[in-house]
Amino acid sequence: MAKYPELADKVALITGAGRHKGLGEAMAKRLAEEGCKVVITDIGSAQGQLMPEDAIGTTKEMQQIVEEIKSAGGEASSYICNVMSPEEVKGAAQFAVDTYGSLDIWVNNAGIGYLMKPILDMDVSEWDAVMNVNLRGAFLGVKYAAEMMVEQGKGGRIINIGSQASKSAFPHASAYTTSKHGMNGLTRTAALELGPHHITVNQICPNHVTTGLGAWQNAHFSGVTGKGHEKYMEDMKARIPLGRPGMQEDIAKACAFLCSDEASYITGESMNVSGGEEYH
Ligand SMILES: NC(=O)c1ccc[n+]([C@@H]2O[C@H](COP(=O)([O-])OP(=O)(O)OC[C@H]3O[C@@H](n4cnc5c(N)ncnc54)[C@H](O)[C@@H]3O)[C@@H](O)[C@H]2O)c1
C-alpha cells in the first residue's frame, strides 16, 4: 500500500537493479508500489572475467523483475546500461523521458563488491574496475540525471547507494572502501551545486545485506577469517545493536522516504541504515 501518495506517477530510474535479491530490485519494487513508473537498468551481460555472469544482473533477470512489477500492478521498463559508459548512462536518462515523459528520481545503485583482496594481492585492473563502476559510474549518474532534471526545471531526487564502507575501512576492501568514501564527497558536492535547482542528493549507507553480492561476501570472508559460515554470521549479528543484518526492505524504506515530501529539506546527507552498527 502506498505510504507517500506524492510519489504517484513520478519516474524513477535505478542502476544495477536487474538482479534478484538485490537492493536495486527491492527499491524498484517499493517505488513501484508507491506508484512510481520505474526504469530498471543493469549491465545485462558478463563483461570479461572482472564482471562474470554469476556476479551481475543479466538481461533475462532484469526482464523478469519488470514482469514481476507489472504482475503486481505497477509500471516498469528495462534498459541495458553499463554505468562505465557515459553514452549509455546518458541514454538511460533519455530512455526514461522518452518512455514516461519525465525523470524525477535517479538511484545510483550499481556496484561491485566482490573483487576483495589485500592491497598486496590486488591487480590494478581490479582496482580500476571497482572505482569505475562504484564511483565513476555514480558520477556519470549524478551528471546525466542532473542535466535532465535541470532542463526539466522541476527539481528531483538523486540517491547514491554507499555503504558502511563510506564511513569505515575494511580489510581486503581498499578499492571498495575508497570508492564508497568517495561517494561522500560526490554526494556533498552534488547537493551544494544542485540545491539551487531543487534537486536533493543523498546517500544511503547500508551495513550487510545478504543479496547476491552479500552472499558472495559471506562465503568469501567466512573462508578468509577461517570462521566458517555459521560463526561468521553469528559474529556479525553480535556486533549489530539491533541484532540482525540488514534486509533489502530496510534500504527500500529509506529510499522511499528520501524520495518523499517528508525528506524535501534533506540533502547532502549520508544516512546509515545499519541497525546501529555504523553511527558516524
Ligand atoms: N549487500 C550489501 O551488504 C551491501 C552493503 C552496502 C552497500 N551495498 C551496495 O548496494 C549496491 C547494490 O548491491 P547489492 O548488494 O544489491 O548486490 P547486487 O549484486 O544484487 O547488485 C549490484 C548490481 O550492480 C550491477 N553492476 C555491476 N557492474 C555494473 C556496471 N558496470 N553497470 C551497471 N550495473 C552494474 C550488477 O549487475 C548488479 O545487478 C552496491 O552499490 C553495493 O556496493 C551492498
- State residue 244's pLDDT score: 98
- State residue 180's pLDDT score: 98
Q: Which domain holds residue 10?
A: 5-209+246-271
Q: What is the pLDDT of residues 65-83, one digit of tens each?
A: 999 999 999 999 999 999 9
DSSP tag of 40: E
Phi and psi (nearest 5°) for 161? -90, 105
Contact 187 CB / ligand 1 (< 6 Å): no
Q: What number is the average pLDDT over the span 149-176?
A: 98
Q: Are residues 117 and 221 in the same domain?
A: no
Q: Are residues 125 and 222 in the same domain?
A: no
Cell 534533506 found at: 266
**Confidence tier at 29 by pLDDT (50, 70, 90):** very high
pLDDT at 173 over 90: yes
Cα(113) to ligand 1 centroid in Å equals 7
Q: Could you give the dihedral angle defined by the CA atoms of residues 266, 85, 60 and 130, in that order, rounded to the nearest 10 degrees? A: -70
Type of residue numbered 19: R
- State residue 1's pLDDT score: 78
Q: What is the pLDDT of residues 108-117, one digit of tens each?
A: 999 999 999 9
Pocket probe for ligand 1: among 64, 186, 211, 216, the residue whose CB has the most ligand atoms within 8 Å is 211
Percent of the chain with pLDDT over 70: 100
d(CA 149, CA 207): 30
List residues with catalytic annotation. Answer: 176, 180
Q: Are residues 117 and 235 in the same domain?
A: no
Q: Are residues 31 and 66 in the same domain?
A: yes
Q: What is the pLDDT of residues 199-232, one digit of tens each?
A: 999 999 999 999 999 999 999 999 999 999 999 9
d(CA 17, CA 94): 18
